[in-house]
Structures are given as structure tokens and as C-alpha cells.
Amino acid sequence: MELLATGFNAWGQLQFNRDQNEVDEPDDIHSFQPILKDDFIGRLYPSLSCTFVENTSGIRHAGFVEDDLECIQEKLLSSTAAIAGNGIVAEYDGRDTVFQYPSKSKDEQQRFTGMGHIVQLAAFETGFVALSHDGSVWSWGDERYIACLGREVTHSSPAERPGLVEELEDLPTGKIKKISAAGYLVLALTEGCDLYVWGGHPGRQALLEGLSSSPVPLVVEEKDITDCGVGESHIIVLTSEGDVYSIGENASGQLGLPLKEARSWTKVPLCLRAGRVVCGVEAGWRTSFILTKHQIL
């Protein structure tokens, strides 16, 4: 397998083989370049200044590890723990409870139950989204950024406690199989390869036309979507045909395109080694990642 990356690289977070004694600030990467090769590349967690990844040798990291991530890096490489941009951590205990606490202390711990068996947790700037085994999506966070919740906030279902995103129930192409979140945007992907989006920040230009506080279908060139990732202000997706598209800001090269920004979906030019296909995508704050594998004929 091979991991490719592009984007913001001020701390060397896209260089796993960088000499730690090197003093020069590394340049950003503006097109997808190979950064790691291994027989197995698993979970990936990109933060602002570092990238964690699981491979055959265990957990590897590149860049500068922030203090609040040092003690929870193994948790973040699971699918059921996440840290929001405001420094709050949420993690599922594997039974029936999600614990929430500040990253530097567990003294102010909160407990949330009633969401069933959680298979994925994702974090945006001010809150969280959880996906349960039955495809239900739950959200909670700061009520000042209510659009990120994708649901109505009421006295019985307040913003700060998990509430069901009801508009993602009984969808035409099946239940939700993956969630992705960052900045003030949330994505949800169905089993039938449809992508839904919601969110936004008051007073800021929306990344996508039609973006609102309710989940809406996200159409990418009429393609079926098999994977997705979202950063601070960009999105990357993988189609069923194996093509990669991106949209959003590109000041650090995070789109992998020769453009300052892309206001519409743009196909990313890739020069893959012979016999390799894209099998997954992910996004960090201002970075994007592509995972490739050998094509099985």
C-alpha cells in the first residue's frame, strides 16, 4: 500500500522520513506525493501540526505532536474517539457510553448514553457527530454553531447533548456508513454511495452552494461516491470509478490542483504507479491524503 499527501507542511507533518534535527522549515506540498509505503496502512489521523498513521510497525507520526494529543494518540487512531477544534475529547467505551472531557484533564467528564453501539465518532470545530451500528447519526456541540448539528434544537433535545439527525433516517440509498467532519462542515455517506452535507459558520462564505443546517445531497459530477474527507475549508472525495475530486480553498496546496481555489468540483490529476488504484481518501486541516493499493485483476 502507498499513502500520498498534499498540502500544509510547516511542521513536516507530511514527511515521515524527515530528519528531526533539520532546522529549515519544510515547504508545503502542492500535488499528491508518496509519503509512506508499507504492506499495511491503517487508520490515519491528521491534526494541525502532525499526522499519525497505523502501519505494520505500530503507530508512526510525522511533524510536531501537540501536548493535548500526546497522551491520546492511540485513541485517535481508533474509529470511536475524536477531538474537536476547541480541545474537547469524546470517546466511546465499547459498551453503551460516550465520555466527553477536556483533552488535558478528565476531571470534568460527562457521560452520554442511549445512542446504541457506536462505530464511528467524528469531530468538527465545536462539537461531535456519532454513527451507530444501525446507521443512525447523532450530533451535539456548541449551540452558537447550530448549523453543524443538522437537527432541530429543542428543550428536550438541547445542543450540548446527543440528538438524532432525523433527516438521515430511511434514506433512498440505504443507511449511513461513514461520517466525516472538520471546521464547520459535516459529511455523511450512505451504503448506496450518496453523500450528504450540512453545516456552515455565520458570517463566513459557504464552501458549497445550498449548504444549510439540514442535511442535503451533495452531487459530484453525477458520480457515485465511495469515500470522502473534509478539512477546514475543503473536501476530497473518491468516486466508484476510482477518480478523485476536490473543492474549496487551496492556499496550501490541499486540493492537489494547480489552482488558488476551486469553487466547483474538479478532478485531481494523479500519476499513480502502474498497477495501483485509489482505495481511500482523507483530509486534515489543510491537507489531503490518498491511499492506494495494487489492483486485483
CB 287 within 8 A of CB 10: no
Reported confidence tier of residue 70, pLDDT bands at 50, 70, 90: low
Reported confidence tier of residue 65, pLDDT bands at 50, 70, 90: confident
Buried b (16+ CB within 10 A) or exposed e, 56-74: eeeeebbbebeeebeebee
pLDDT at 203: 85
Please give the C-alpha separations between residue 13 and each of 149, 208, 247, in angstroms, as whole numbers.
Answer: 30, 28, 22
DSSP 3-state percent helix, strand, coil across the chain (nearest 5): 5, 45, 50
CB 246 within 8 A of CB 289: no
Tell me the per-residue pLDDT of 95-126, one tens digit each, with 9 for 90 and over.
999 999 998 776 789 999 999 999 999 999 99
pLDDT at 75: 81
pLDDT at 297: 65
pLDDT at 23: 64
Reported confidence tier of residue 39, pLDDT bands at 50, 70, 90: very high
Reported confidence tier of residue 20, pLDDT bands at 50, 70, 90: low
- Give the integer Cα–Cα distance in Å for 128 and 148: 9
Range 212-221 contact pairs with CB under 8 angstroms and sequence separation of 24 or more: 212/147, 213/146, 213/147, 213/148, 213/149, 213/150, 214/150, 214/167, 215/150, 215/165, 215/167, 215/168, 215/188, 218/187, 220/195, 220/245, 220/265, 221/245, 221/265, 221/267
Whether the predicted model's global pTM rises above the 0.85 cut: yes
pLDDT at 105: 72
